[in-house]
Amino acid sequence: MSIADIIAIMNNDHLEDVKPPARIYMKPQTRFTATFMGESNMVEGRVCGRVGADIEVETVFGRLQVSGAAEPGTPVHLSIRPEQIKANQENGGQLVALGKIKVEEISFFGTHHRCQGRHVNSNQSLIIRLPQDQPARAGDELAIAVQRNDIVLMNV
């Protein structure tokens, strides 16, 4: 990604996505692109309505308002990168609360702690990356949240 101006993602002779590296990584168009370009938490949902130019999606985290277009009743996937999920931080109106994760495994990678766990209310598997100075232990429950613009809509 560091040397490309444009990246083309192919999947079985099908062109999935063509854009600059930052857009490919941060706002993937398809589930394949999201997982091909690194770890991504994939959350299933169903569109339940529109809110202005955005849509509202029913998920295991509750109803989430996301950018994009899809008709009510449409099944969708949402992608959230592990490094975009914040743990135990003040909301301040900027973050969308996702509930709590119970940490099952944690590994130190030098630049971050990689935590794998499950959402306590839904059993949804999640991966989050905590900063170096924010360690956790297996068994810890962490309140998690994300900026709304970091939730990426993908049609199924």
Catalogue all structural domains in the chain, each as residue range(s) with its CATH number. 1-38 (no CATH), 39-155 (2.40.50.140)
Average pLDDT over residues 130-134: 93
pLDDT in tens, 2-52: 899 999 999 999 999 999 999 999 999 999 999 999 999 999 999 999 988
Angle of CA points 117, 60, 152, to nearest 5°: 85
User: Is the pTM here over 0.85, yes or no?
Assistant: yes
The residue type of 100 is K
What is 138-150 written as a DSSP string?
TT-EEEEEEEGGG
More confident residue, 145 or 89: 145
Q: What confidence tier does 155 reach under pLDDT thresholds 50, 70, 90?
A: low
Average pLDDT over residues 67-86: 94
Which pLDDT value is given to residue 17?
92
Q: Among the listed ranges 7-21, 84-98, 130-144, which one has the minimum average pLDDT value?
A: 84-98
Which pLDDT value is given to residue 1?
82
Please name the residue that has the structure tokens 């809509």.
Answer: 153
Average pLDDT over residues 57-77: 94
Mean pLDDT across the chain, nearest whole number? 93
